[in-house]
Chain A
Amino acid sequence: MAEERNSMIKFEEAPPRVSEWKRFRRVFLSRGMVVFGLLVLLLLLFTAIFATWLAPYDPYRPGTADSLLQPNREHLLGTDILGRDTLSRLIYGSRTALMVGFISVGVASVIGVSLGLSAGYFGGATNVVIMRAMDALLCFPMILLALVVASVLGGGISNVIIALSIATIPGYARVTCGLTLSIRENDYIMAQRAMSSGSVRTMVRHILPNALPPLIVLGTMQLGNLILAEAGLSFLGIGIEPPGAAWGAMVNDGYKYLVWNPVLSFAPGLAIMLVVFAFNMVGDGLRDALDPRLRGLL
């Protein structure tokens, strides 16, 4: 009898503590697709960083080889009209994609999160003004807004980044505002106020950390969308200036020689798709690992 009770007590002991990091890693890596996405992103990062060493030829100098060569042993993907190696340009294009994606997400998240925090925290007129302005921005399809802004500012990659950032801000502001509205109601925020902590301090030190997980997930997914939008813009001929290499522009260049060598157009498009897919998958995995309640929302 006594033994039995002992074993029951043992049974009711708290389960062994699992470290938060271990739990995160287990959930994050539990899906094959997420692991695949992660590997693609690591490969992409590696390619972008070591492009100089990885690219077999100079991606910019025309006449490195004969123009429009079919894929062969020296030029695995053939060459474009100016005789530049397609594989080398593809490798350098990863830099453009990542740079545009990361800078735009950085700029947009800082501005969007500040706007969303202020709108949610102060409420009232501040909320109305900020959120209606965000609603107005959301009436423009992302690519269209970026297209118009970039064209007004003039070409160039930095203006594309500005344009894409503007188009991404409302998404952040909306999500942050919603999160702030619910976090604000917690007792610890009221305690913080009772201790006469300033608004900025409360927002940055106490609300923002609690809103961070969904924002990280949103950022990851936005990276994919931004790379897709950048590809669209450079496909239309806005942004990258020759001789720079961008995947969208490469798809368009190759389109003209589709009959002669479809690889010119297919390869960069496949690269875009793979990278966007990878960002979406990693975003999915982060969501499940950080905050599964967000399923269906982000």
Chain B
Amino acid sequence: MATYIIRRLLQALVVIVIVTLLVFFIMRLLPGDPLLIYLAQNANIEAMPPEMLDTLRHQYGLDKPVMMQYLNWMENIFRGDFGESIFYHHAVGALMLERFPVTVHLGILALLTSAILGIIAGLLAAVRRGKWLDRIVTPLTYIGITIPVFWLGILLIYLFGLKLHWLPIFGYTSPLEDFWLSSRQVVMPVICLAVFGLASNARQMRSAMLEVIRQDYVRTAWSKGLSERVIILKHALKNSLIPVITLMGIGVGIIFGGSVLVETVFAIPGVGRLLVGSIFAQDYVVVQAITLVIALIILVVNLIVDISYGWFDPRIRYG
């Protein structure tokens, strides 16, 4: 187990290095010089003498070899300096600190919703296989993994916002400021972010549960005369949860991906909308920083999921 964890950590370290290289060099794919892109938005390039360009280039370290630039960039990130946004004239680190909590707030709610409801739905569908409950839940899970989240958002806005007037149709308020308004505002975005994970959790849970209740030890439990409740919740549930845990790691990625779309639909000032805005504003320092942070979060979550396997299922042998 210990060797497995160490090996897994070393692997993760290699992947982290590759991720940073990818993020750094993807920005080098941009046609032209980063300095020129920067200047083009700030000043009149033609009017600038070439010596001044050279001075600026030196000042930003852009005359150094690419590998040195990469190392400088990494060094700054370790110090918490993500550079400065061209569009917002603001430190990117501070900008992200402002926006990430919003996305994380919605994301955690969505993750919890998809886990709890997904597990319950899948469990019920498996236990009542072929009955009316299963016949409702299973087709719904198929819809859940195919529906475009942005479109679902629009449908919800139309129904609950414009027709029924139950919920506000856009915006975000911090729960610390106005808890009631905040809760009403997050309902629809959280549904959108959760729906894919909910459906895939339910599917995974259903098939895992069907697998487990065929096992001998469950039959033994039945023959001992235990009640269905005890058998399912105490004996079968634990073992069928293991495959669902893998999906949690994937779920974080899906939520961050979805936040780009959902935050656009509901005009939520989170990190997804910041990313889209920065892409259109060609503010690549911000794009670079956000991409890096999201990738690292996903990497760490998946690492935790991988390692926690052994804790959830001691039968798993680490080869």
Binding site for B on A (CB under 8 A): 33, 128, 132-133, 135-137, 139-144, 147-149, 151-154, 224, 228, 231-232, 235-238, 248, 251-252, 255, 258-259, 262, 265-266, 269, 272-273, 276-277, 280-281, 295-296
Contacts and interface: CB of A to CB of B under 8 A. Distances in A.
A136 B148 contact: no
B299 interface: yes
List the 8 shortest-distance A-B pairs measured between CB atoms, nearest first.
Answer: A141-B257, A269-B151, A136-B18, A139-B295, A276-B146, A277-B146, A151-B279, A143-B257
B260 interface: yes
B248 to A, nearest CB: 15
Contacts of B207: 295-296
Contacts of A133: 18
Contacts of B284: 152
A7 to B, nearest CB: 36
Given A139-B15, A296-B243, 15 more contacts: A135-B15, A140-B295, A141-B253, A142-B257, A143-B257, A143-B260, A152-B27, A152-B29, A232-B149, A248-B148, A248-B150, A255-B154, A259-B162, A281-B142, A296-B204
Interface of B: 11, 14-15, 18-19, 22, 26-27, 29-31, 142-143, 145-151, 154-155, 157-158, 162, 204, 207-208, 243, 253-254, 256-258, 260-261, 264-265, 275-276, 279-280, 284, 287, 291, 294-296, 298-299, 302
Nearest to B203: A296
Contacts of A269: 148, 151, 154-155
B127 to A, nearest CB: 18
Contacts of A152: 26-27, 29-30, 284
B228 to A, nearest CB: 24
A232 B15 contact: no
A141 to B, nearest CB: 3
Given A141-B298, A148-B291, A269-B148, A280 B257 contact: no
A136 B22 contact: yes
24 contacts: A33-B142, A139-B253, A140-B291, A140-B294, A140-B298, A141-B253, A141-B254, A141-B257, A142-B257, A144-B291, A144-B294, A151-B279, A152-B26, A228-B146, A235-B148, A236-B264, A251-B148, A252-B150, A255-B154, A269-B154, A273-B143, A273-B146, A273-B148, A280-B142
B240 to A, nearest CB: 12
Contact of B22 (A137, A143, A154): A137
B143 to A, nearest CB: 7
Contact of A132 (B18, B146, B261, B264): B18
Contact of A139 (B19, B148, B279): B19
Contacts of A140: 291, 294-295, 298
A148 B279 contact: yes
A148 B299 CA distance: 18
A147 B260 contact: yes
A266 B31 CA distance: 38
A139 B293 CA distance: 10
A228 B29 CA distance: 26
B158 to A, nearest CB: 6
Contacts of A280: 142, 145-146
Contacts of B279: 147-148, 151, 238
Contacts of A33: 142
Contacts of A136: 15, 18-19, 22, 295
Contacts of A154: 31
Contacts of B151: 251, 265, 269, 272-273
A143 B294 CA distance: 13
